[in-house]
Structure 1
Amino acid sequence: MTTANAAQGVTNTGGAAPRRGTTARDLSLAEILEIQKRAQAEDPQPTAKVRRDRISRLKQLVLDNAKDFAEAIRDDYGSRPETLSTLTDIAASMPDLDHQRSHVAKWMRSDAPSRVLSKVGFHQEVRHDPKGVVGIMGPWNFPLYLTIVPAGSALGAGNRVMIRSSSSTPRTTELLCELGPKYFPVEELVFAGPEHGRGSEFSKLDFDHLFFTGSPGVGRSVAKDAAENLTPVTLELGGKNPVLVDPEADIAEVAANVAASRMVNGGQVCVCPDYALVPRDKVEAFADAVLETWTKKFGAISGNPEYTTTINESNFERICGLIDDARAKGATVRQVVPAGEDLPNATERKIAPTVLTDLGADMDIEDDEVFGPILSVYPYDDIVDAVAQINARPDPLVLYWYGERGPRFDYAVGHTRSGNVYGNNFGMGMVSSAVPFGGSGNSGMGSYHGKWGFDTFSRDRAVAMSEFDYNVGDFMTPPFDAAAKRQADLFLKAMKTRTRFLG
């Protein structure tokens, strides 16, 4: 379908379209959902060509308007480098869309589990059918990447898509709502705007799958809403991501790496390191090196358009409160405040990069995911102690390891749970289509990227066909004569023999 046809509300399936020129803003959420469900019923198994075309149009929506999106995100934050948005929200979205588009024809083919059984009259296959209409709820920290990538997977799997962007990024949401109809008719993909109500109204819709990225607290509410409709959910949440520093690692090098990673998007990234576990005798050297790195990076903070602001006032106050609480309860607070500046700055919503040490269990920051420019540093005595500290908290989204891959690494990974494990660098698997991305427990459920994204939005459907001359059900209903009992005994004996043979 061409972009022009998409703008006019014309589909290549016919029958299910609303009147020509109708856009999402003319309709309620319930009406949009009904239109998409009817359209899916008209064309329940879109061809590979159709799926690739939809992914291509999603790419073009982003690429054609890249500059406008970068400016909109900057305006939503107040201060966020357009280069950062171009790299993370726009460019980083493309590889997985390309991967989906290149592989969808292969992935959508049915699998045949056993050719041997087929030859004796028992044919089996596993279909990979679209689920139907997928709802995607995006967050504010990467308002394009974290909606466009899952949407590409959902389209590749043959679904229709409804997207609700965050209300914390109104300019970006407005731009998506304005541009969406130019590339997609209502029947295929829709961006819901503020006129469609709150997020809770979206999550209560009877979707065939619901995908949410955000905080664990809101994720629980979304899961409850979806449960009312028995809608399957994928939850991509956050958590306190630990950095475990090996005793033999180069402390200065690791500290510089972690310092930069902590400040990506002002620390407002679900895969940012939240706290570091450092050998006890190296804690001070580590903290000093983190502060030194930040001092070199941030010659100015107030008035610096390249220093990302905290997204809104409530988060600004929450993060400042965490620092104040830790200080009041005895933590050592060290900050990088350029000469002549007064931070935190409530007008600009800018907070100085902060290192906390000497933390105690009664401090609020012990439990709260920071999502801001604070790095907590804890000492550990041996790898068992460090692992125990990690396991005392809910499962993180990412466990970071800095050091060689050896017995201590194996112990740490083998004795902890996390959504992902990244070694010696920031977010290594985040933009890869070769590995899954997803959480564990408090940090989420389900995964996507690459084939895992296609699988998330597909229904694996078994098909089994028989050419046997007898009915299996006859063996399982009365009368159970002597022959049936002998067959049952022979089957049981065969299973026992097989078990002994397999060990």
Structure 2
Amino acid sequence: MNAPTTPYLDLPQIPAEFQQCFDTQRAAYLEHPEPTLAERRQDLLNLSRMLKENREALVAAINADYGSRSEFETLFAEFFVVLETIKDSSKNLKKWMKPQRRHIDMLTYPGASNRVIPQPLGVVGIIVPWNFPLNLTFSPLAAIFAAGNRAMVKMSENSRHLALLLAQISPKYFPEDKLKFFEDGGGRGPAFSSIPFDHLLFTGSGTTGRAVMANAARNLTPVTLELGGKAPAIVGPDFSIKTAAERIMWVKMLNAGQICTNIDYVFIPEGKVDEFAAHCKRLFAERFPDINANDYTAIIDQRSYERLQGTLEDARAKGATLVNLSEGQTPNAQARKFPPHLVLNPTADMILSQREIFGPILPVRTYKDQMEVARYINSHDRPLAIYPFTNDKELQRFYISRVMSGGVSVNEALLHVGQHDLPFGGVGPSGMGHYHAIEGFNTFSKLRPVFYQGPFSAIQMLFQPPYAGRAMKILNLMIRWKT
């Protein structure tokens, strides 16, 4: 009899170096499937050492990949956040690893007990984007190693200097059967996502995320997807426009706006747009008096720079008012220092209304009432985050209740991502699954349910045919107890 045909036979050819590493890590996992608490803490310590002992080289590599990346932003958003994550994971690891007692019905199962035991999955794959390459590598690794796993990491094609450095220094801290880094290039991404990992984490665009998930599905590999989207900020009628501008501008200029959880557009109450724009212009002039200085990060590559230019020109051609926040300065196009802009009066047919902007362009929308805002956001894909700015507790609850998103920061933007006891993840088109905190440990663990039978098995009294006699009477009695 012929085997049934399947449409899933066109898996990409897996390169030999991928396959060899996967086989090595899988064999090591099978040989030692459950690292001890001490071994896991040592892995976390080695992650921390790897960052601290190579700080200057890592900062330089990221700067080389960007062309110009603010050192402060690299140290704050990559080193500081990751080191805090590692420290928090090590501190809580003993508690996370402890088997959980679960309730059991002692009338039905006298003398028995239930436990949930977190155990390592095995070999985890990570596909890392270019925008925060250390953060989005080492934060997941903290959860992956805390859960007792091994990891293969594929870096972005835009992170070539960093990928080479990590591949070079990693063996000083971890054997290949524990951790290995790979460069991208030559179309190897689809092949990496086709490896039969025990779990696969991808951070990137929704389009690529769908392809990654399709490849993983062919091996029934579970995935965690962090995909971004169009995250809105909403300035409430009670909130200071000046304060809102200060906090929104800080995050919108961070990494030149190249952040998946960045503010993609902002809602301002009618009649307050001019005030908001004036504050934004003043703030940029104060904080970035020279757009070409190192404090202002470059756009990652020429294609992205041209995409942002095209996005602005499309908005201008379709009637938007553009406010150049760096007016009076002369950006260096060759260095890809993109001038930040507000876009007033955006319309639905503009590119910036349809796609994630991922750069220093901020569309400004006006509104009359909160339902108008909720209806607009809910008519589009669920975002990775929302950012309500209001001191009105009822209005805060309204947006949290009425508008679903991956996460929320109230009266700030982005900072929920850096809270080590909060999970991070998307919902719907903005992603699936969580990591950070105990949720990250659980994501990369098999929460294995275990039933322990006691010396006497009362339930066996039911499993003795014929059932019409004693077994049926006992079952009917048990059912009556439950009602």
TM-score range, shorter chain: over 0.9
The answer on whether the counterparts of 1:438 and 1:446 sit within 8 Å (CA) in structure 2 is yes
Amino acid in structure 2 at the alignment position of 1:459 = K
| AA in 1 matched with 2:247 | N
> Within the alignment, does 1:357 sit opposite 2:344 as a pair?
yes
Shift in Å, 1:117: 4.1
Cα distance, 1:476–1:371 mapped onto 2, change above 3 Å: farther
Q: How far off is 1:338 after superposition?
A: 4.2
Counterpart in the other structure of 2:481? 494
**1:377 and 1:254 mapped to 2: Cα distance?**
13
C-alpha distance in 2 between matches for 1:442 and 1:323: 25
Asked if 2 retains the 8 angstrom alpha-carbon contact of 1:236 and 1:439, the reply is: yes
1:467 to partner: Cα distance: 2.4
CA contact (8 A) 1:238 1:443 kept: yes
TM normalised by structure 1 equals 0.89
Distance 1:194 1:330, change over 3 A: closer
Cα distance change, pair 471–325 in 1 and its aligned pair in 2 (3 A): same
Contact conserved, 1:29 with 1:196, CA < 8 A, in 2?
no
Q: Residue 270 of structure 1 is aligned with which of 257, 260, 267?
A: 260
Retained in 1: the 8 A contact 2:257–2:360? yes
For the residues of structure 1 that align with 2:299 and 2:464, how far apart are their CA atoms?
68
State which of 34, 39, 44 in structure 2 corresponds to 1:45: 34
Shift of 1:195: 7.6
Question: Cα distance 1:405–1:37, how it changes in 2: closer, same or farther (>3 A)?
Answer: farther
Q: Give the Cα–Cα distance (whole angstroms) in 1 for the partners of residues 110 and 328 of structure 2.
A: 82
Q: Is 1:214–1:236's contact at 8 Å kept on the other side of the alignment?
A: yes
CA contact (8 A) 1:162 1:191 kept: yes
The secondary structure found in structure 2 opposite 1:281 is coil
Question: For residues 295-317 of structure 1, what are the alpha-carbon distances to aligned partners after superposition, in whole Å with 9 as ceiling and x for unaligned?
Answer: 2222222x322221110112111
- Aligned residue for 2:132? 142
- The one-character-per-residue Cα deviations of 1:48-82 (angstroms, maximum 9, x if unpaired) are 11111111111111110001111111111111122
Q: By how many angstroms is 1:96 displaced? A: 0.9
* CA distance, structure 2, for counterparts of residue 27 and residue 62 of structure 1: 29
Gaps of 5+ in 2: 1-14
Alignment pair present for 1:455 and 2:445: no
Equivalent in the alignment of 1:60:
49
Trace 1:92-491 onto structure 2 (pairs within 5 A). 92-114=81-103, 117=106, 120-194=110-184, 198-301=188-291, 303-339=292-328, 341=330, 343=331, 345-467=332-454, 469-470=456-457, 472=459, 475=462, 478-491=465-478
Distance between the aligned counterparts of 2:392 and 2:179, measured in 1? 44
Could you say which residue in structure 2 is the equivalent of 1:501?
A: none
SS at structure 2 position matched to 1:124: strand
Q: How many residues align?
A: 468
Q: CA deviation at 1:474?
A: 6.5
Following superposition, the deviation at residue 471 of structure 1 comes to: 6.8
The answer on whether the counterparts of 1:242 and 1:273 sit within 8 Å (CA) in structure 2 is yes
Cα distance in 2 for residues equivalent to 1:340 and 1:287: 17
Q: 2:430 and 2:104 mapped to 1: Cα distance?
A: 41
3-state DSSP of counterpart to 1:74? helix
CA distance in 2, matches of 1:206, 1:405: 49
Per the alignment, in what secondary structure is the counterpart of residue 437 of structure 1? coil
The answer to whether 1:81 aligns with 2:81 is: no
Distance 1:49 1:340, change over 3 A: closer
- Measure how far apart 1:221 and its partner are: 1.1
Deviations 1:164-191, CA, capped at 9 Å, x for gaps: 1111111011110111111111111111
One-letter amino acid matched to 2:320: A
The Cα shift of 1:349 comes to 1.6
Contact 1:312 1:349 in 2 (8 A): yes
Identical amino acids, percent of aligned pairs: 35
Supply the AA of the counterpart residue of 2:118: H
Deviations 1:105-158 (A, max 9, x none): 221121122488499311211110001001111110111011001011100100
How far has the Cα of 1:270 moved from its partner? 1.4
- Which residue pairs with 1:28 in the alignment? 17
C-alpha distance in 2, partners of 1:57/1:196?
31
Q: Give CA deviations for 1:405-434 in whole Å, capped at 9, x if unaligned.
A: 411111111011011110112322222211
Unaligned runs of 5+ in 1: 1-25, 497-503
Q: Distance in 2 between matches of 1:34 and 1:195?
A: 22
- Contact 2:323/2:343 (CA < 8 Å) preserved in 1? yes
Counterpart CA distance in 1 for 2:253 and 2:354 is 20
Q: Secondary structure at the match of 1:260?
A: helix
Local SS of the residue matching 1:28:
helix
Residue 86 of structure 1 and its aligned partner are, at CA, apart by: 1.6
Could you say what secondary structure the match of 1:167 adopts? coil
Bigger Cα displacement from structure 2, 399-408 vs 129-138: 399-408
Separation in 2, partners of 1:280, 1:405:
18
Counterpart of 2:118 in 1: which secondary structure? strand
Change in CA separation of 1:378 and 1:236 when aligned onto 2, cut-off 3 Å = same
